[in-house]
Amino acid sequence: MEKPFSQPCENNKQPIVDILSTEFKHTRYVLEIGSGTGQHAVHFAPRLPHLRWQTADQAEYHTGIHAWMAEQPSSNLLAPIEFIFPDAIWPSSEIDGVFTANTAHIMLKQEVQAMMTLIDNMLPKSGVFCQYGPFIVDGKFSSQSNLDFHHKLLDSGRGGYRDVDELVAWAPNLSLSHIHEMPANNLLLVWIK
């Protein structure tokens, strides 16, 4: 099988893991929501050897994730589990970190709200949630290309960009501790329980 490939994942994986190495320094077990191709997981896990990395996505993506894991195995990288909102079930009480990339603008609004609520409810005290992607801040898009892509997503039946203020409202037990500016008009939001 030819592995799935995402050029944006290839472009952003190192800038993201550079931040995760600090933000997940005291984290032991990370749930990755929306592992997609699997490229992030196989890059991050060996560079964060102190933690377990649990991949998770819709079942249709599992074959591709397994293909990447077979080519780039890591002892702390766990096989994907099925994870679909709004019915996703928290897989372990030991999870103290969550990572997701480029999911909030693809998912429908109610699915993003379900994701934020689940993390808000299940992450333990001092748990860390790192959320990467394009967002609206203070009602404004960071670029014309982001605004154009937002409308393209809406036209295709996707949820479109979410405003950071919405996310804050949906997760009252999480504190938005840092907003990292990332390449290509993206952000990495760091939430602490």
Per residue in 124-153, pLDDT (tens digit) is: 999 999 999 999 999 888 888 888 888 998
Rounded to an integer, the average pLDDT of 76-82 is 98
Using CA atoms, how far apart are residues 162 and 150, in angstroms rounded to an integer? Answer: 9
Per-domain residue ranges of the chain: 7-192
Distance of CA 147 to the CA centre of its chain: 21
Contact 39, 9 (CB under 8 A): yes
* pTM for the predicted model, two decimal places: 0.96
Using CA atoms, how far apart are residues 69 and 181, in angstroms rounded to an integer? Answer: 29
Give domain 7-192's CATH superfamily. Vaccinia Virus protein VP39 (3.40.50.150)
Segment 7-54, tens digit of pLDDT? 999 999 999 999 999 999 999 999 999 999 999 999 999 999 999 999
